[in-house]
A = this chain, B = another copy of it.
């Protein structure tokens, strides 16, 4: 079958005024609506309903042109995978978003992992020493997913630890999601379990961290509602769980603009340290591909906590909050 590579991407910059603990900075930043990226993807019809596909996606910061994740150079470190799909579903190998990421993403009006999603507090580790922060992607995964059109969703992924010495389970990843999506409803449950260490830096006794999420959304004619409950657990002595609850809504105030609001609370069991965060957003679409947007984010840290959002530095154990006011443009190609 014929090659048909699609080149795609996003260029997104915003002017940001960040403040925390009395320090304020102003400047351009990457990806307030959607992280900037450039990618190549393609599918090949193999006959009999079977398709081969691949996807390679690099992140970049249009403020400087430097690569991201981690940068400063380009790599396909956002996503890189190759696989087969058919009526039975989809089988992939490589670096991808995790099953739990999709569960959160589908019920987040901002899209979790985007700069201004309050749901990103799922990656906070405040008052949970030794826990492995939630990551939206994993490398070296083997993954099965139910077909895209299926109302029942199953999404199962495994990445073996690759260390030869010390514990071979260093860096091991397990994740799965199960859900139901039929308009107006979406409901999903997901977990992911990771062991600390990696092939490059194996550890003798990898610590196990587990995340659970229950997510739902409901689409009225105009209004959409979103809700999440999450728990993050480290199997380490004396490290408490954290519990997060989030609620969100989006509403098309005009045919080309949308108002979005989302709030979250994170609480560490048996500790006064907690966070409340919210984002108020407005998207104005110049076209399907190009939008202007505004975001106003607030994060409060209780009892000396020092989690952060939107990459704003917060002094450790200061209890300082974060405020960000942003206006930007997102152009997809």
The reply to whether B333 and A54 form a contact with Cβ atoms under 8 Å apart is yes
Number of copies: 3
The reply to whether B56 and A60 form a contact with Cβ atoms under 8 Å apart is yes
Flag whether A254 is at the interface (Cβ < 8 A): no
Cα A286 to Cα B53 in complex, Å, equals 13
Partner pick for A80 among B8, B65, B161, B164, CB 8 A cutoff: B65
Interface centre among A65, A93, A94, A164 (most CB of B within 10 A): A65
The reply to whether B82 and A329 form a contact with Cβ atoms under 8 Å apart is yes
Cα A290 to Cα B25 in complex, Å, equals 47
Contact A290:B9 (CB < 8 A) given known A64-B140, A75-B72: no
- Chain A window 1-45, contacts with chain B (Cβ cutoff 8 Å), 1 for yes, 0 for no: 101010111011101000000011111100000000010101010
The reply to whether B82 and A11 form a contact with Cβ atoms under 8 Å apart is yes
Task: Name the interface size band of chain A.
Answer: 35 or more
Cα A62 to Cα B83 in complex, Å, equals 11
The reply to whether B54 and A78 form a contact with Cβ atoms under 8 Å apart is no
The reply to whether A54 and B3 form a contact with Cβ atoms under 8 Å apart is no
Flag whether A313 is at the interface (Cβ < 8 A): yes
Flag whether A225 is at the interface (Cβ < 8 A): no
Cα A3 to Cα B79 in complex, Å, equals 22
Flag whether A95 is at the interface (Cβ < 8 A): yes
Interface centre among A8, A52, A84, A289 (most CB of B within 10 A): A52
The reply to whether B25 and A64 form a contact with Cβ atoms under 8 Å apart is no
Q: Which residues on B sit within 8 Å (CB–CB) of A289?
A: 1, 3, 44, 52
The reply to whether B76 and A75 form a contact with Cβ atoms under 8 Å apart is no
Contact A28:B140 (CB < 8 A) given known A13-B94, A54-B333: yes
The reply to whether A93 and B62 form a contact with Cβ atoms under 8 Å apart is yes
Scan residues 139-169 of chain A and give those whose CB is less than 8 A from a CB of chain B. 139-142, 159-165, 168
- Give, as a whole number of angstroms, the nearest-CB distance from A288 to chain B: 8
- Give, as a whole number of angstroms, the nearest-CB distance from A157 to chain B: 12
Identity of the chain B residue whose Cβ is nearest the Cβ of A95 in the assembled complex = B65
Partner pick for A331 among B82, B163, B331, CB 8 A cutoff: B82
